Structure 1
Amino acid sequence: MEANTGIDTQELGEKIVGVLKTIYDPEIPVDIYELGLIYDVFVNEDREVKILMTLTSPNCPVAESLPVEVEEKVKSLDLVADAEVEITFDPPWTQELMSEEAKLELGLL
């Protein structure tokens, strides 16, 4: 019989997305979630979070600090036991990954 941990991983996932929407790329006035920099958010039953994200370019000025900021802000959520950020450039980020809202904000629509 599976133990019920009482954690709603989907609800926690939504809270994590809420936090991600407070983190901005310093060069673009749009949060990293709407920019499409977050590829995936995994939450397991132990409340461990893994975030797969990218940067606008490998030479992004915040390549060192942005993943750390994401990790720290997600870890600051009470329900999160641990968080890890993995950076990938596969697939590379393009403007196509941005939300309609972000494109509108940047005058791309």
Structure 2
Amino acid sequence: MIINDQAGIKDKVIERLKMVFDPEIPVDIYELGLIYELHTFPDGVVKVVMTLTAPACPAADQILQDVQNTLAEVEGIKEARVEISFDPPWDKGMMSEDAKLELGFF
């Protein structure tokens, strides 16, 4: 994950992203490894490049809306731009150790 923290709000953004869950998986999108890039800019714009666990994820629209809504609540953010990328494709190896433990992938 690439993080550019020009506005000094990276930790707040990550904290909020950890509150967004894929409705089918009891682990947040950050720990699942779905966040590929996170850029914050001095003008209050945040850009998130993320993926989904599968290209045909039935909850894609809900997850994207949840990301935008939760980031809109961060003080100092004026606009959240969320982009989906499937390059590289997501796999279980991208999850944090905590997520793997939670889901029993050891």
For residues 9 and 75 of structure 1, what CA distance do their matches in structure 2 show? 18
Aligned residues: 102
Of all paired residues, the percent bearing the same amino acid is: 48
**Which position in structure 2 is the counterpart of 1:40?**
37
Is 1:100 the counterpart of 2:97? The answer is yes
- Residue 9 of structure 1: CA displacement? 3.5
**Bigger CA radius of gyration:** 1
**Which position in structure 2 is the counterpart of 1:3?**
none
For residues 76 and 61 of structure 1, what CA distance do their matches in structure 2 show? 25
- Residue 11 of structure 1: CA displacement? 3.7
Contact persistence 2:38–2:49 (CA under 8 A): yes
3-state secondary structure, aligned to 1:64: helix
For residues 7 and 14 of structure 2, what CA distance do their matches in structure 1 show? 11
**Which position in structure 2 is the counterpart of 1:62?**
59
- Residue 62 of structure 1: CA displacement? 0.9
Q: Write the mapping of 1:1-109 to structure 2, written as runs, cut at 5 A.
A: 9=6, 11-109=8-106
Q: TM-score, normalised by structure 1?
A: 0.88
Gaps of 5+ in 1: 1-7
Contact persistence 2:7–2:42 (CA under 8 A): no
Gaps of 5+ in 2: none
**Which position in structure 2 is the counterpart of 1:4?**
none
Higher strand share: 2
**Deviation readout 1:54-91 (Å, 9 max, x if unpaired):** 00001111111211110111011121011110001111
For residues 18 and 51 of structure 1, what CA distance do their matches in structure 2 show? 14
Runs of 4+ in 1 over 2 A off after TM superposition: 8-11
For residues 94 and 11 of structure 2, what CA distance do their matches in structure 1 show? 19
